[in-house]
Amino acid sequence: MDKFTKLTGIAAPMPLVNIDTDMIIPKQFLKTIKRSGLGVNLFDEMRYTLDGKEIPEFVLNQPAYRQAQIIVAGDNFGCGSSREHAPWALLDFGIRCVISTSFADIFYNNCFKNGILPIVMPQDVVDVLMEDAKKGANARQTVDLQAQTVTTSDGRVFPFEVDAHRKDCLINGLDDIGLTMVKAKSIDSFEQKAATLRPWA
Amino acid sequence: MTARTLYDKIWDDHMVDQAEDGTCLLYIDRHLVHEVTSPQAFEGLRMTGRKVRAPQKTIAVPDHNVPTTLDRANAATMTEDSRIQVEALDKNAKDFGINYYPVSDVRQGIVHIVGPEQGWTLPGMTVVCGDSHTATHGAFGALAHGIGTSEVEHVLATQTLIQRKAKNFKVEITGSLRPGVTAKDITLSVIGATGTAGGTGYVIEYCGQAIRELSMEGRMTVCNMAIEGGARAGLIAPDEKTYAYCMGRPHAPKGAAWEAAVTYWKTLFSDEGAHWDKVITLKGEEIAPVVTWGTSPEDVLPITGKVPSPSDFTGGKVDAVQRALDYMGLTPGQNLSDIKIDTVFIGSCTNGRIEDLRAAAAILKGKKKKDGIRAMVVPGSGLVRAQAEEEGLAQIFIDAGFEWRLAGCSMCLAMNPDQLAPGERCAATSNRNFEGRQGRGGRTHLLSPAMAAAAAITGHLTDVRDLMTATV
């Protein structure tokens, strides 16, 4: 997993609420057995016509946002299915951070496993960041995970919360499975205890 | 001892390790696997030389991609990429020695229907699957939730999941449901009341008389859509109905082990005085048959209602509603019961169980679908299909002009050939009405199996109670 420390980049405004995982990556692209290559189909049905032409109004098709690395989104981003193809597609496009007032639980988890930082901010802050993002390519926002701050293009700084374990994994690019494997003895002893308490399980 | 909720109890009994910052390692009793969200996880194991830690607790079944037409044994019925995914699961199940129900097995079906049916899902367990509708298994008082593919790999390798504890949300449904009102109407009404983000950060426990009066099938329908309300999981405390459902299932305990299990299961309820972070109460008598009109499961109204206007909403929802109405091709003020449909889909992990088919067949018996309507029933598993044939339900569907299909996820998410065309409007018993969910440009109205049957007969969204009165 790529580390996430500090990012300065273009933020794309997507004020729509309830952007679901079917919008982020429609089901026909889930038939892959790989993690890579999904960026071209990110937001496919909003981004392309039925015959595959770009829809110019869609934010990521606009010249200013084609290189976006941050999305500032409406409430409840990533609701719907558990498909990790959603963060894979975002990452493959180049998005490393999504900022919203809330995220669906599974999507939120999936982001951290893929080096993407989801940031929850109150509505008034998201409103400020959204307006800032609307200024276009010259208005770059800075996300500093170590300091836990987002800075607008004109220097306003907003703090955010993230739990310590997830922050540590992102900053150091740590593999969860490796970390858990270190606790194999605890898992062994749990299994022995459970075999007596709940032998049917 | 402190009073605890059901969620607290299951959590405590599965905690392997807790870090200082509150991050926990939770033991997983059952890991369900399907072909879409697992290939990259197995590939990860191969690349790192890791094994599946507990293959005997891991159960795989292909469901999302599989065709549901009767000729599906012919590989040409699948697109090449679908076939590759299903074949990858065949191979992974064999290579890693996990329990497997291939497409050719009569027990094959939607993973969330197969798990309970085979007795893999039992009260008090932790159950995960790379699928958000894993919440279904909460109907047994099992802590069950969807995970991403990285977490699938983590569970395969370690039989644990890194988790932080969610908050406790009590959803109480008092009283009894009126005739024509079902579990689907409960769960949609709850989402209508709380919104699709209302449960974010919570585990819901559904309780109250109306929940106790539901069958296990109905309880699975309710918990299935907990995720649509944003909750990590939905739970219902086990009771005599739960034990009766589990007893004798192939993987349920037997003899003395059964007695010991029931003794433990009887401790699985929320204690008097347990702390709830959030509570809502709905009156069972006031719940009506409902339908969705928009492109989010929270866009739900009684069938007697009218299509709302964006001006009825505030904040970000104003634009979202305008977008939804444009997408759905609806006009504010239109009666919901005047909306004409093209297609009826009965099936899915939400409503693909025997009781759902019985409810739909009860409405369809001796009647025909309206001319020009495309209608299909996709049983949730091969065993549900067989039982429906034995009970004569299949013949009722066939006589009514429905296609009688083989088991799979089918048109719920349209990863197989069962899809809507652009603009095609569907009355669906599934769980998501998102843009493009059932096919690009397709328009989905979520409702109960009985309501879907009623819509098939009249050709428009219909209050099933009108048809019930007519038959009395």
**Which residue positions in chain A have pLDDT lower than 70?**
none
> From the list A74, A163, A180, which residue is nearest B316 (CB)?
A74
Q: Give tens-digit pLDDT for A48-77.
A: 999 999 999 999 999 999 999 999 999 999
Q: Answer left, alpha or beta for residue B359, where phi above 0 means left and psi between -120 and 50 means alpha.
A: alpha
Angle between helices B149-158 and B39-48 (to 10 degrees): 50
Edge-first strand order for the sheet with B58-60 is B99-100, B58-60, B30-33, B126-129, B143-146
Res B136: pLDDT: 98
> Does the pLDDT of residue B471 top 90, yes or no?
no
How does residue B85 score in pLDDT terms, banded at 50, 70 and 90? very high
Q: Which residue's structure tokens are 């919360």?
A: A161
> Does the pLDDT of residue B472 top 50, yes or no?
no
User: Residue B305 has which token pair?
Assistant: 């209602």
In percent, how much of chain B has pLDDT > 70?
99
User: Residue A122 has which token pair?
Assistant: 């109150």
Res B335: pLDDT: 98
Quick one: average pLDDT of B347-375? Answer: 98
- Interface contact A82-B232, CB threshold 8 A: no
Element (H, E) at B223: helix B216-224
Res B176: pLDDT: 98
- B158 near A188, Cβ under 8 Å? no
Length of chain A: 201
Quick one: average pLDDT of B192-203? Answer: 96
CA distances from A189 to A184, B16, B27, B50 (A): 9, 9, 11, 20
Residue of B nearest to A184 (CA): B158
B141 class by beta-carbon count within 10 Å (0-12 exposed, 13-18 middle, 19+ buried): buried
Quick one: average pLDDT of B167-190? Answer: 98
Res A25: pLDDT: 97
The answer, for A80 touching chain B at a CB cutoff of 8 Å, is: yes
Q: Give tens-digit pLDDT for B58-70.
A: 999 999 999 999 9
What is this model's ipTM?
A: 0.94
Return the number of CB contacts < 8 Å for A and B. Answer: 195
Between residues 124 and 153 of chain A, which touch chain B (CB distance below 8 Å)? none
- Interface contact A31-B82, CB threshold 8 A: yes
Residue of A nearest to B30 (CA): A201
- HEC profile of B132-175: HHHHHHHHHCCEEEECCHHHHHHHHHHCEEEECCCEEEEEEEEC
> Does the pLDDT of residue B5 top 80, yes or no?
yes
* Global pTM value: 0.96
Res B469: pLDDT: 66
The answer, for A104 touching chain B at a CB cutoff of 8 Å, is: yes
Q: Give tens-digit pLDDT for B90-119.
A: 999 999 999 999 999 999 999 999 999 999
Quick one: average pLDDT of B200-227? Answer: 98
> Does the pLDDT of residue B379 top 90, yes or no?
yes
Beta strand A70-73 pairing with A97-100: parallel
Q: Give tens-digit pLDDT for B244-293.
A: 999 999 999 999 999 999 999 999 999 999 999 999 999 999 999 999 99
Q: How far is A113 from chain B (nearest CA, A)?
A: 7
> Does the pLDDT of residue B322 top 50, yes or no?
yes
Res B155: pLDDT: 98
Quick one: average pLDDT of B133-138? Answer: 98
> From the list A17, A27, A200, which residue is nearest B320 (CB)?
A17
- Interface contact A165-B146, CB threshold 8 A: no
Q: How far is B81 from chain A (nearest CA, A)?
A: 6
Q: Report the C-alpha gap between B114 and B122 in whole angstroms.
A: 13
Q: Is B80 helix (H, G, I), strand (E, B) or coil?
A: helix
Res B21: pLDDT: 86
Q: Report the C-alpha gap between B470 and A184 in whole angstroms.
A: 64
- B459 near B341, Cβ under 8 Å? yes
- Interface contact A31-B85, CB threshold 8 A: yes
Res B470: pLDDT: 54
Q: How far is B396 from chain A (nearest CA, A)?
A: 33
Could you tell me which residues are beta bridge partners of residue A13? Answer: A72
- Interface contact A177-B84, CB threshold 8 A: no
Quick one: average pLDDT of B442-450? Answer: 98
